[in-house]
Structure 1
Amino acid sequence: MVLKYFLEKVEDIEILPILEYALELAQSHLQKLTFIFNSEKFLIPYGFKDQEDVEVTAPPLFSDTYYLFYLQQWGQMGLDGYSISLSLAARSDVFEYFSECIDESKELLKKTVNVLLSKGLYIRAPYIVTPKKVDFIKKQSFLTGWLGERRPLTALEITNLYANLQRNVLAGLQ
């Protein structure tokens, strides 16, 4: 598990407990999912094995700041994925599992954002000017901006672009 590698390399004492918390979550998820799969006689998927795939004694590849941004993305993507999974869960045990995962993702994100803020590293989302009046769509075609007159982006479009940019930047740092 990559978190074990991060824990071996982290130097910042504020980031260390968040990495430990994330590792505890990951290990508890493996136990819970293994139990659910075994109870259904479902084959356990083959995943990364610490002994085979993670060399914790390898030299540092990332900065402590990278670990923090990694955990922030992990928390955000956990909220995204688990909320969709929760809405599709029919079994009560699976519903409960995803409910717990959402709570854990919220806590991980909160811890991470607090440290990012305290270090002055938190990157705030784009600011949207408060409108002075209500604006209505003037044409029936919302997609007119692609071919004709350009329209401003909606707040949701800006949010999605910003979130994708954050993930892409983090992926590019690897």
Structure 2
Amino acid sequence: MVERSIRLSSAEIAGLWETYLQENLAVCLITYFMHHNKDGEIKPLLQDAFDLSTKHVEQITSIFNAEGIPIPDGFTGEDLDLTAPPLFYDMFGLSFVYSMSRMSMINTGFLTANVARKDIMDFLVTMIRNTSELYRDSTNLMLSKGIYDRPPMIPYPDDVEYAKKLSYISGFGKKRSINVAEISEIFFNIERNFFSVLLCMGLMQVVKDKEIHQYIADGKKISEKQINTFNDILEREQLLGIVTTSVNVTTSTVSPFSDRLIVTLFNSLNGIDVTLIGHALSLAMRSDLAAYYQKYIIEVLAYSAKGVKLMVERGWAQMPPQAPDRRKHEKL
């Protein structure tokens, strides 16, 4: 039983606020995919994802109401046009659930490490478990449909080895082959950016606002550069490059989403991307890989700033709860 005298900490409010916005956004997007999807195997997975995100939104709403905290302004049916023709084929809905559940597992893990109040801890731990199960189910379904590309295989090692020279970290001139941790991060970076390119391709067909269209085009270029950079590294290591799957975009030119929803989605993805590139950087023990990750994290941060500027100018940027300005209150 939670003692209501134990107030939420700033970290707990921040985690719940961020999760509410992401899960509310997911409800809208999955509603769209469910409306158009005809695949008898994918549709139940979309329903599971919808039910989970809806439940998470309701739970956070209940907590905020009990604490007297305003509910963030989310998205509604007004941000969706279900009469618009399908923008993506059925497999993209499956790819969306896979990508979002994977990112949610990682992000929710960070949030869980920052909370202490029992009800918030229980909520986030349960959310990780549920999202992990959704990730497992989406991965298995992608495997069965032949659209999941596993990371590169290497021969099993014969012995445990130790680095004998400082040249182990060199990425220029004569350099060692990449290790399994580095291969893994490169693979998932490419996979994530393929998903982003497909998303950008679809949205560029339907967005009519020139400034937002250019913003999406800029994001597509950043993702394409990362794909090319890291595929080149894999090819030089004779690990073969990663190719796109059969997940494609239709020829529809009618937008099913509001401009506000689209830019907010990109803003959310940018934040997760910075986190994941930072994680890859922390595991890169070869200097050339570290240099690439540093370069791209700066690019994504600059791109993210453009998105925030766009949201502020359009009146779409919600501010998380802020600490009071004590200096202002101290004035006579």
Q: 2:144 aligns with which of 118, 122, 130?
A: 118
Which residue identity lines up with residue 107 of structure 1 in the other structure? E
Cα deviation, 1:134-157, whole Å, max 9, x if unaligned, reads 322122465322x45312222222
Is 1:58 the equivalent of 2:84? yes
Equivalence for 1:153? 178
Q: 1:48 aligns with which of 47, 51, 75?
A: 75
Q: 2:99 aligns with which of 69, 73, 94?
A: 73
Check whether the contact 1:15–1:68 (CA below 8 A) recurs between aligned residues: yes
Check whether the contact 1:78–1:101 (CA below 8 A) recurs between aligned residues: no
Equivalence for 1:99? 125
Backbone CA RMSD of aligned residues: 1.6
Cα deviation, 1:48-105, whole Å, max 9, x if unaligned, reads 22x2211112100001111111111112112111111112211111110111111111
Corresponding pairs, count? 172
Query: What displacement does 1:21 show?
Result: 0.6
Deviating above 6 A after TM superposition, structure 1's stretches of 4 or more consecutive aligned residues are none
Which residue identity lines up with residue 108 of structure 2 in the other structure? Y
Gaps of 5+ in 2: 1-27, 200-332
- Hey, what's the Cα distance between the residues in 1 that align with 2:31 and 2:82? 7
- Hey, what's the Cα distance between the residues in 1 that align with 2:181 and 2:98? 20
- 1:2-13 → structure 2 map (5 Å cutoff): 2-13=29-40
Query: Identical aligned pairs, as a percentage?
Result: 34
SS in 2 for 1:88: coil
- Hey, what's the Cα distance between the residues in 2 that align with 1:160 and 1:129? 18
- Hey, what's the Cα distance between the residues in 2 that align with 1:87 and 1:128? 33
Which residue identity lines up with residue 35 of structure 1 in the other structure? S
Q: Give the TM-score taking structure 1 as reference length.
A: 0.91
Q: Which of structures 1 and 2 has the bigger CA Rg?
A: 2
- Hey, what's the Cα distance between the residues in 2 that align with 1:54 and 1:78? 23
Gaps of 5+ in 1: none
- Hey, what's the Cα distance between the residues in 1 that align with 2:126 and 2:154? 33
SS in 1 for 2:32: helix
Equivalence for 1:172? 197
